[in-house]
Amino acid sequence: MTLRQITGKIADAAGLTQKQAALLISVFEEKIIQALQKGHSCSLPGFGTFSIKIRKERTGFLPSLGKKVLLPAGRKIHFRPAQEIKNHLKKAGL
C-alpha cells in the first residue's frame, strides 16, 4: 500500500478528512523519530516496538570493486512486531 492509500483508509475509518489523516500520520512518524533520537524505544501494544540497535564494525564485500571493505560501527532502526501481528499474518498464510 502507498502512503496515499493508507491515508485514505485511515480517513474513512476514523471519519477524518484526507488532510487530517495525513497530519495524524505525520505527527505519529515525528513522535517515533523523536523518541528514537533520544535513545528511547517506542512500544505500540498489539503492533510492535521500534528501537535503535548498535551494529558492530564488520568486514563487507563490494562486488562492484571485487574487494573486501571495512564497514564502520553504527546504529540502525529495528522493528520487532508484536505477537498479535505475527499471529494475524500466520493465520493469513504469510
What average pLDDT does the segment 50-55 reach?
A: 96
Average pLDDT score, the chain: 95
Separation CA 77–CA 59 (nearest Å): 20
- Give Cα separations from 50 to 10, 26, 33, 72, 79 (angstroms): 21, 16, 9, 22, 5
In a domain, 25, yes or no: yes
Do residues 85 and 46 share a domain? yes
pLDDT at 94 (0 to 100) = 85
> Which pLDDT band, with edges at 50, 70 and 90, does 46 fall under?
very high
Domain count, the chain: 2
Strands (E), 5-82: 42-44, 48-55, 58-62, 67-71, 74-81
Domain that holds residue 28: 1-40
Instruction: Say whether both 11 and 47 belong to one domain.
Output: no
Same domain, 86 and 51: yes
- Domain match, 22 and 51 both: no
pLDDT tier at 47 (50, 70, 90 boundaries)?
A: very high
Q: Indicate if 51 and 88 belong to the same structural domain.
A: yes
Number of Cα atoms under 13 Å in the Cβ half of residue 88: 7
Q: How many helices (H) and strands (E) does the chain have?
A: 3, 5
Question: Do residues 26 and 46 both lie within one domain?
Answer: no
Query: pLDDT at position 55, please?
Result: 94
Same domain? For 29 and 51 the reply is no
Mean pLDDT of 24-29: 97
The answer to pTM > 0.85 is no
Q: Are 50 and 79 in contact (CB under 8 A)?
A: yes
